[in-house]
Amino acid sequence: MKTAFQNLLYPKLDFLKGKKLLLATSGGIDSMVLVDLLLKENFEIAIAHCNFQLRGIESFEDQKFIENFAQKNNIPVFITQFDTKAFAEDYKLSTQVAARELRYNWFYELLETENFDYILTAHHADDNLETFLINLSRGTGIEGLTGIPQQNEKIIRPLLAFSRNEIEAYANENQIEWREDSSNASDKYLRNKVRHHIVPLLKDLNPGFLSAFQKTQDYLQQTQGMAEDAAIMVYQQVAQEANDEIHFNLKKLKKLSNYHSYLYQWLSEFGFSAWKDIYALADSQSGKQVFSPEFRLVKNRDFLILSPLKNLKETSEFLINENTTDVNFPIKLSFSKVDSVIETSNKTIFTDVDKLKFPLILRRWNEGDVFEPFGMDGKSKKVSKFFKDEKFSLAEKEKTWLLCSGNKIIWIVGKRADERFKVSETTKNILQIALS
């Protein structure tokens, strides 16, 4: 006789009848229950097991357990072994994220090559609740609270509406064999605290807690979807894409009282994190900029312009404002007002502030560039000739930066200063500029 649990579950899975299903099977209680439930109703299933090699001999015993189970029940089985630790190190991922990445990539590969219709996983309602609470404990955006969806493209989670209790009860009644779930130890520690101490108290507040929680997650998913819609709609109104750059129209954007939310939404995927600086940028003078590891955001009159650094390094101009003390990109420069010229070197020059036109410009050299080399009595020289005379390699030339005041060169950075900006007897304010 079928249990109430089965009578609730099976009608929901009608659409999987006749489909080729691949079950992600760790060997833990949840996945072994799902396998049993599907076997009992003659679904067309195969099982896939990843050996992440994270717990030595235990990992191989899990694998063996799955292989035996598949053989005994005459089910097709796919097994793979990952060097999870190495993968995590190579891609600078946490072990957990690495394992997830490897697992789902392989599942999708099998889906493709073996012509499965769907991948099934055994996540249940308590998994979502535990993850919600763990993310909450660390601080999170809405994406950390919405939970794994019941269906996401080709991945289906048939047990997501059911509780851990229901699954454990089924396992006991049906004498399901299983092995303790494998998972990252520190995550397990946190998860166990949540599972054994916090979740029971929450369920105690309201006997219908878990189903109320599922409704909450449904609502949050709806809200998240609408927020994403808004991000797209506002983007279409204020952003223009051109030459790998995105130009955000600040006049239009700032009509929205919550425009910070939009900047956050758009820019976080480009690796930005200095939000205070970015929000200040919207109100700052032209030339101010904020960097993420691979992108630059620069204020340019009524626009914020997002550019990939790889482009910038070759083609762009970097503006340096009057009160700047440190520039960290594309090269490291420091600026300080000093009382007297100390010691000029390749790496340090001294200039007459009152001759400079701000913002200064830091840029690559062009074919036509001309300067007046320091100590040459005001004779001008082509930059290309200077390179030739100094026997610069092509690589050296390409690496060279020019610091300019308007269209005049102040410094071929690290190589030679210009005569026109040098400190003289009439100089009142001295600016020391150093390369580090």
Q: Residues interacting with a copy of itself, by CB under 8 A?
A: 133-134, 136-142, 144-145, 190, 193-194, 197-198, 201-202, 204-206, 208-209, 211-213, 215-216, 219-220, 222-227, 229-231, 233-234, 256, 258, 260-262, 264-265
Task: Burial-class residue 152 by CB neighbours within 10 Å (0-12, 13-18, 19+).
Answer: exposed
Is the Cβ of residue 209 or residue 365 nearer to a copy of itself in the bound state? 209
Least separation in angstroms between residue 140's CB and a copy of itself is 5
Cβ nearer to a copy of itself, comparing 237 with 380 = 237
Q: Which is nearer to a copy of itself, 134 or 176 (CB)?
A: 134
Query: 3-class secondary structure for 326-380?
Result: EECCCCCEEEEEECCCCCCECCEEEEEHHHCCCCEEEECCCCCCEECECCCCCCC
CA–CA dist 221, 154 (Å, integer): 19
27 is in an annotated binding site: yes
Coil/strand/helix, residue 308: strand
Is residue 225 marked as binding? no
**How far apart, in whole angstroms, are the C-alpha atoms of residue 176 and residue 174?**
5
Residue 122 Cβ, how far from a copy of itself at the closest point, in Å? 25
Minimum distance from residue 208 beta carbon to a copy of itself (Å):
8
C-beta of residue 99 within 8 angstroms of C-beta of residue 84: yes
258 Cβ neighbours under 8 A, 6+ residues apart: none
- CA–CA separation, 7 and 338 (whole Å): 83
Q: Is 26 annotated as a binding residue?
A: yes
Residues written for the chain: 436
State the nearest-atom distance from the C-beta of 149 to a copy of itself, in Å: 13
What's the min distance (Å) between Cβ of 228 and a copy of itself? 8
Instruction: Indicate the residue among 106 and 275 with the shorter CB distance to a copy of itself.
Output: 275
418 is in an annotated binding site: no
Q: How many CB atoms lie within 10 A of CB 256?
A: 14
Which residue's CB is nearer to a copy of itself, number 141 or number 308? 141
Binding-site annotation: residue ranges for ATP: 26-31
Binding-site annotation: residue ranges: 26-31
